Chains A and B, each alone.
Chain A
Amino acid sequence: MITAPVSAERPLHDCRDAWAATLVDLARHDPRIVAVVNDSVGSSKLVGFQDEFPERLINVGIAEQDMVGVGAGLANGGKIPFVSAAACFLTARALEQIKVDAAYSQYNIKLIGQSPGMAYGELGPTHHSIEDLAWLRAIPGLTVVVPADPRETEQAIRWAAAHTGPVFVRVSRMPVPDVMPAGYEFEPGRAVLLRDGTDVTIAATGTVVSRAVEAAELAAAEGISVRLLAVPTIKPFDTEAIVRAARETRGIVTMEEATVVGGLGGAVAETVVRHQPAPVRTLGVPDEFAPTGSASWLLDHYGVSASGALEACRELLGRA
């Protein structure tokens, strides 16, 4: 296996900084914006928000069901609540509140899943949030956004504030390089073509988009032309881009910091089966509880890496 360093030369960012700065900026211009947290002021990087808007930071304590319900009630009262908590607790503990209070009631509530995926890798599977994409993708009326870098995080937060309706945004803690092009504008339901290619497609979301970029570079070096799609919204899903990829290239490799059950890989597989059958390889955490390790170690371990993706591309092209 070729092991490629993850953009060692490029500076890495914690997307929480972009989230927090954006929220403060939005709050300065819109008094309806409030934050709701579960003892997660620090881990959500909301100390600055709290200092500037102490009244508008509602900390319900360690009570996630209450937190999401309170968010729905605030939306009922005309506020724009950003409910921010570790993604693992927000989505697992309050899943029914997300389904019913946020989505079924169609409240204008923003759910911010902090430190998602395996950002808390060393803390073990209790703290991994790798099922969130599968769970939330199954809920009607909820937008599910997985930004890849600080620029996209900022744009997703701005879009969520302006959009009326429930939105979930994963905010990455695992350091990532800038990957989205300058001038990029987030649009829900739209996959972003980062690189065109004709042999095989890699569709990646969130923190692992940078790994996909490297995979495409490695592939190019051995004469494989990769079409690279960044997929920032798992829902609504860019069916058209995937169907085109299935038609115009010889298969699709998916990459996500999530379980291979039901997330981006599931969405791609469902799409091609329905519209344009094509071979698919899904890279993510297999159907098991992950061992301990840092997020980047775990991603490498499971082949959600440049080399892992390259290998999957070769396999799809019969060059394994």
Chain B
Amino acid sequence: MTGSAATAAPADALPVFGRIGADAGREAVLAHLAEAARAVRRRDIQMVHEAGQGHIGGEFSVTDILVTLYMHVLNVAPERPDDPERDRLILSKGHAAAALYTVLAARGFIGVDELRSFVQPLSRLNGHPARTKIDAVEASTGPLGHGLPIAVGTAVAAQLDGSPRRTFVVLGDGELQEGSNWEALMTAGHRRLDHLVAVVDRNRLQQGARVAQTNDLEPLADKARAFGWDVVEVDGHDHGALIDAFAAVPAASGRPTFVIAHTDKGYPVSYMRDQVSWHHKVPTAEHVQTALDELETS
């Protein structure tokens, strides 16, 4: 290749971020996570635009949670995907796969270039994550209501082994309407799975309407407490608050931890934010440009 095209970074470039430990100092950690989250959102929205598919609203609401976990909290590494003592993360709201893939690429679990294959024929990057295709995916998800029971199982296995490894499961709020979650919430509370963390992406919207108008979850914190969990409510876009919530695991109480992460669907993009219609609407080139501009200053 010749000329400037060879040197200019392509518009869809994504840097690979390393994991940043607490020893770097809080300020550096937060700067690292902010930069990673911005890069992930930039890449994600372009990917969804190019693929013509995705669930961008719920991807942007969950991005900060995934970035905080993969870039700082989780004891996982691309060099040892099968380490039995790794922490487990299960993305139960599998429709946010594009956000997961982007974070995995940004953390070095999959190639950055591979993101271009999202939902293309024979791609490993299905519209929903598949365990058999990608090492870092702990469980295939897509049908809602599967992740929490599986997470309970991984946490029971760790408990049987007396292992300090932790399990994190990320759920949609609408997803909590599925009864299987409540079966698993009971089991986790009953068995005092103190190394288990459920993170609810509380963006108050589901596919077709607001959660409160569909089948309300409130009082959610009371419900989780009644099922034997410790409840922490945080701003789900505040990396520092998320770090602090996760740092308290295992809880001194011996209970599993239920993190209600208050988020906005489409965050931080103005036209998407808190809009039901952006559950799986596909952004146009113009939408993408506006979002990229807004992300620059967010």
Give A residues with C-beta under 8 Å from B: 34, 55-56, 58, 60-61, 63, 65-79, 81, 96-97, 100-101, 104-106
Query: B150 touching A73 by the CB < 8 A rule?
Result: yes
* Distance A77 CA – B151 CA, assembled complex (angstroms): 10
Given contacts A65-B180, A97-B149, 11 further A-B contacts (CB under 8 A): A58-B156, A63-B183, A63-B187, A66-B149, A69-B150, A69-B184, A70-B187, A73-B155, A73-B157, A77-B153, A79-B160
Query: A65 touching B153 by the CB < 8 A rule?
Result: no
Interface residue B131 (Cβ < 8 Å from any Cβ of A): yes
Query: A69 touching B142 by the CB < 8 A rule?
Result: no
Instruction: Please give, as numbers and ranges, the residues of chain A lying within 8 Å of B153 by CB-CB distance.
Output: 69-77, 81
Q: Tell me the smallest distance from the CB of A317 to a CB of chain B, in Å.
A: 47
> Which of B132, B146, B149 neighbours the largest number of chain A CB atoms within 10 Å of its CB?
B149
Q: Tell me the smallest distance from the CB of B27 to a CB of chain A, in Å.
A: 36
* Distance A75 CA – B151 CA, assembled complex (angstroms): 11
> Binary interface profile of B, 122-162, with partner A (CB < 8 Å = 1, else 0)?
00000000111000001111110110111111111110110
Interface residue B186 (Cβ < 8 Å from any Cβ of A): yes
Query: B88 touching A76 by the CB < 8 A rule?
Result: yes
Query: B149 touching A69 by the CB < 8 A rule?
Result: yes
* Distance A69 CA – B151 CA, assembled complex (angstroms): 8
Instruction: Select one of B131, B141, B186 contacting A63, CB under 8 A.
Output: B186
| Interface size range of chain B in the complex | 20 to 34
The chain B residue sitting closest to A103, CB to CB, is B140
The chain A residue sitting closest to B190, CB to CB, is A61
> Which of B132, B148, B153, B157 neighbours the largest number of chain A CB atoms within 10 Å of its CB?
B153
Given A60-B187, A77-B156, A104-B140 contact (CB < 8 Å): yes
> Which of A60, A71, A97 neighbours the largest number of chain B CB atoms within 10 Å of its CB?
A60
Instruction: Please give, as numbers and ranges, the residues of chain A lying within 8 Å of B180 by CB-CB distance.
Output: 63, 65-66, 69, 97
Query: B154 touching A100 by the CB < 8 A rule?
Result: no
Instruction: Please give, as numbers and ranges, the residues of chain A lying within 8 Å of B148 by CB-CB distance.
Output: 69
A sample of 30 cross-chain residue pairs with beta-carbon separation below 8 angstroms, ordered by A number, consists of: A56-B160, A60-B183, A63-B183, A65-B145, A66-B183, A70-B149, A70-B152, A70-B187, A71-B153, A72-B139, A73-B139, A73-B149, A73-B150, A73-B153, A73-B154, A73-B155, A74-B154, A74-B157, A76-B88, A76-B139, A76-B154, A97-B149, A97-B180, A100-B142, A100-B143, A101-B149, A104-B130, A104-B131, A105-B139, A106-B132
Query: A70 touching B140 by the CB < 8 A rule?
Result: no
Given A78-B84, A78-B157, A72-B150 contact (CB < 8 Å): yes
Q: Tell me the smallest distance from the CB of B201 to a CB of chain A, in Å.
A: 19
Query: A65 touching B84 by the CB < 8 A rule?
Result: no
Query: B149 touching A68 by the CB < 8 A rule?
Result: yes
The chain A residue sitting closest to B141, CB to CB, is A100
The chain A residue sitting closest to B184, CB to CB, is A66
Query: B154 touching A65 by the CB < 8 A rule?
Result: no
The chain A residue sitting closest to B158, CB to CB, is A77
The chain A residue sitting closest to B130, CB to CB, is A104
Query: B139 touching A66 by the CB < 8 A rule?
Result: no
